[in-house]
Structure 1
Amino acid sequence: MVFTSFLEMVENKFSLKLVDEIIEAAELPSGGSYTTVGTYDHHEMIKLIVELNARTQIPMPDLIRTFGEYLFGQLLDMHPDFMVENSTVFEFLQKVDSYIHVEVRKLYPGAELPAFQYDTSIPGTLIMTYNSSRPFADLAEGLILGCVAHYGEAIDVKRIDLADGTSARFELTQVG
């Protein structure tokens, strides 16, 4: 689903021609033929992002964050009930590991997913620590920003990188 959503985002924000160009230039083992039920090497996503960056001159972290925001909208469309059950950003985000990732594992039993640790010891603040074997902290940030935008809450998001894109701490603080 991540790969098909990425290509859909590129088509919607740029063009189908650009989708074809980046797939061809990336020389992907899969040939760029993705399904929503398949699993693919994350290096293919990196190659696609590199090619998109080369053609748009948009910095790669910005492209990945934008994709994260877009992907949040896709998840919203797929699981509207989960959004209704969780009426705030903090409620929703604290259930990523216990609900969303559980659902993903049902569909993709071998999926290697990031993990989050949560700290709510400071009133009005949620600290999420992201850990993954893949360098997609920018994607996690985009998903968080998409969640904040969806709920329309006044929340400041601060990111502290802990490793080369594979680990980061996100400090979300309610404003006002």
Structure 2
Amino acid sequence: MKGIVFTEFLDLVEKKFGLEMLDKIISESQLSSKGLYSNIGTYSFAEMLQLLQNLSSNTLIPVDDLLLVYGEHFFSVLQDSYGNLLSTYKDPIEMLSSIENHIHVEVQKIFPKAELPTFIIEKKEENNLIMIYKSSRAMHHFGLGLMNKTFSHFNATANITMQKINEEGTEVRFLINKKIYP
């Protein structure tokens, strides 16, 4: 997993829960990296799981809720770093439907070893999108957070429903309905 995912997570933890909590979850985790991450480095997903689980147990916030907030936070990182890429889109449905064939292609150019989830478009209409998320990491709530902020970025809103295809959450169907206001 790319280091930027770790550095931004730790930044979010410090901002939302304080430096003391950050130090606590790092010290409670068995991290090969010792909690020292660089944006361009690559680290074990097991370290992220430990950090998330320790934050969850210390705050009593479920891991899925933490991932949702983190996904929303991470969108601002993407906006700051890849604003030109985001500006090529005029609509959230258009942007979300191009994750696999455009956005991930650009991310792979910058981070060639990034292990990205797969998104398969099942159905696309002007205001509706059905897509399948596939990842061994089961971070679909992180994806939901990114999707929520995608709609905010375009001053739009949506109803987004998730349906787990398998129990582990490594395959999830997103049903996205953009709200239309008269």
What is the TM-score normalised by the length of structure 1? Answer: 0.94
Per-residue deviation, residues 97-155 of structure 1 (Å, max 9, x unmatched): 22221222223322221100113355521111100121211111111112122222131
* Aligned partner of residue 100 in structure 1, secondary structure: helix
Q: Does 1:139 align with 2:142?
A: yes
Which whole-Å CA distance do the structure 1 matches of 2:12 and 2:146 have between them? 14
Q: Does 1:158 align with 2:161?
A: yes
Per-residue deviation, residues 46-65 of structure 1 (Å, max 9, x unmatched): 10000101111111110011
What is the TM-score normalised by the length of structure 2? Answer: 0.91
Aligned to 2:54: 51
Aligned to 1:168: 172
Which whole-Å CA distance do the structure 1 matches of 2:92 and 2:100 have between them? 15
Q: Are the equivalent residues in 1 in contact too, given 2:157–2:178 (CA < 8 A)?
A: yes
Q: In the alignment, residue 91 of structure 2 is paired with which amino acid? A: T
Q: Are the equivalent residues in 1 in contact too, given 2:68–2:141 (CA < 8 A)?
A: yes
Q: In the alignment, residue 177 of structure 2 is paired with which amino acid? A: T
Match of 1:41 among 39, 44, 49: 44
CA RMSD of aligned residues (A): 1.4
Q: Are the equivalent residues in 2 in contact too, given 1:5–1:71 (CA < 8 A)?
A: yes
Q: What runs of 5+ residues in structure 2 fail to find an aligned partner? A: none
Worse-superposed segment, 113-122 or 162-171: 113-122
Aligned to 2:95: 92
Which whole-Å CA distance do the structure 2 matches of 1:110 and 1:174 have between them? 33
